[in-house]
A and B are shown apart, each in its own frame.
Chain A
Amino acid sequence: MIKIKGLKKVYKSGRGKKATSVEAVKGIDLDVAQGEIFGFLGPNGAGKTTTLRILATLLSASDGEATIAGANLRTEPEAVRRLIGFVAQGGGTTDDVTGREEIVLQARMYGIGKAEAEKRAEAALAAFDLTEYADRKCKTYSGGQRRRVDIAMGVIHQPQVLFLDEPTSGLDPQSRAHMWDEIRRLRAEGMTVFITTHYLDEADALCDRIAIIDHGEIVAEGTPADLKREISGDVVTVVVAEEAERAGELLGKESYSNGVEVREDNELRLNVDAGDSAIPQIMRTLEGAGIKLETIELHRPTLDDVFLTKTGRSLRD
């Protein structure tokens, strides 16, 4: 649905000898399948929004090619605009008009006739749970309501691909969960959704596939589960009543173990491939040696760990 090849964006500033150029996006390749929620994950300034704005025809690329739903971004921007919807991080509603008026105007800017635009707006307001507020001015809306109006505007022309820039930033947890449901509903209708986010939990919970971008380059790509598995497998933390050293030696010899670390307070950390099948084996090994087990706990790696491994730093830094 989206094919990107060697996409590059160079920002130039200054003139003559003082001219400097910054490569915001350094030649990225991506393929997004139809009906997928694709997450573009990265810290602020990594090139997420730049890439998104290029794909939404708002910025021209310095180099590279992209096709969206079969339309060429460089040569057929009009066709691309008809096929995609785009919602900017800050949205684009005006304070003094109502949600309904905004949605109707957006439809009409796509060339849709007045009667049809009003019909679609009515349906969109209902679908996004906005009917109750439809005729109030946008300035009275909560952050979540405003964001829903933005998304309703983004899909009013029934695009095949929807681009959302940080759709949940600044929303309270409840509105955030609501927004995730809306996005899943759009996918269920067959839409391909491309979102940028810097929330790892959002990428994990919502996205079918993600790409991690850092300093303008893609450093990892895959399903959240694959990415997590790829980096380290699982970690099992075991606390024994006594003889932690001996337990460590024994467990280190087992085939399911990829390494054991003995820590303070009789705690052992084991790296294993698959934690759920390793746990019963660990328990058997310790029982066989007569070592009393106090607690056993499984840690799955999070996207935080993936991010740390791939970029050498935590996303929150």
Chain B
Amino acid sequence: MKLLRDTWLIFQRHMLLMLRSPLWVVLGVAQPAVYLILFAPLLKPALASVGANTMSDAYKIYVPGMLIALALAGGLYVGFGLLGDLANGVIERSRVTTVSRVALLLGRSLRDVVTVIVQCIIITVLSLPFGVFVNIGSLLLGYAILALCALSSASISYGIAIRVANPSVLGQVVNNIAQPLMLLSGTLLPLALAPLWLRTVADFNPFNWAAKGLRALFIGDTGNPAIWQSIVIAAGLMVVAVIWSARTFSRSVR
């Protein structure tokens, strides 16, 4: 109960901060929006081999991948905010209170999830003119997968931030993690185009499973087992990541 109350309290504070400087949310969508308009048109010929015959088909393959990349990258860079609050005394001032330690981290991470989902909604709306129509049930399920991915990547970022405790090292580490995860989840180009060994490696990447599930939902292939698989795997990853970061955080801050 206390954990829920405290998490809600910290979540509200961070939402307030986000709403006071909404520019960050919009800036976060700028890059995916540019990709959507300038990069995706190149894809139609490339995606023909995986069954994309029309522009709309190509976008339905491309957009879900980009959303996964957004959830992954959006989450992975949140550690900088935590390092900032550790440096400016906000965390310390919270630690002398009886507030739940786990809530300090979870409240933040949930704000990060909201940020990512808002960005995903913006991208989804921007995709409408390109013929990306998805039925509302599938879309909501897709956002659930994205939320799980964002919560996982945010937790991973916080955990690493506490371990390295240095913004420039954090930047390097996050870049080195984000890049292979992104490439191996077929977010930019589907891995169906990749050689077998690369696909085998990618099978160990939870974000690749998430991307597969999300694509099935966008295409309207609702019977595809990739959907439930992606939910189970993303949920599993989320649980592991949250527990790991919460333990790392509570151990380091007592």
Contact = CB atoms under 8 A, between A and B. Distances in A.
Given A90-B88, A94-B90, A60 B254 contact: yes
A109 B99 contact: yes
Interface stretch (A33-41, A100-108, A272-280): A100-108
Nearest to B2: A111
Contacts of B21: 96
Classify the interface of chain B: helix, strand, loop or mixed: helix
A197 to B, nearest CB: 19
Interface stretch (A77-85, A217-225, A285-293): A77-85
Contacts of A84: 96
A308 interface: no
B98 A82 contact: yes
Interface residues of B, number: 21
A10 interface: no
B94 A109 contact: yes
B92 to A, nearest CB: 5
* 6 residue pairs, one from A and one from B, having the closest CB atoms: A92-B93, A92-B89, A109-B99, A109-B97, A86-B96, A96-B20
B89 A106 contact: no
A153 B98 contact: no
A91 interface: yes
B25 to A, nearest CB: 14
Among A84, A101, A108, A110: residue with most chain B CB under 10 A: A108
Given A96-B20, A101-B16, A106 B98 contact: no
Given A57-B254, A82-B98, A88 B89 contact: yes
Contacts of B112: none
Interface in A54-68: 56-60
Given A106-B97, A108-B9, A109-B99, A91 B89 contact: yes
Interface residues of A, number: 30
A106 B89 CA distance: 13
Contacts of B9: 105, 108-109
Interface in B72-110: 88-99
A92 B89 CA distance: 4
A127 interface: no
Given A93-B90, A111-B99, A157-B97, 8 more contacts: A82-B98, A84-B96, A88-B89, A88-B93, A90-B88, A90-B89, A97-B16, A150-B93
B17 A94 contact: yes
B13 interface: yes
B6 interface: yes
B10 to A, nearest CB: 8
Given A90-B88, A92-B90, A109 B254 contact: no
Contacts of B17: 94, 96-97
Contacts of B88: 90, 92, 94
B95 to A, nearest CB: 6
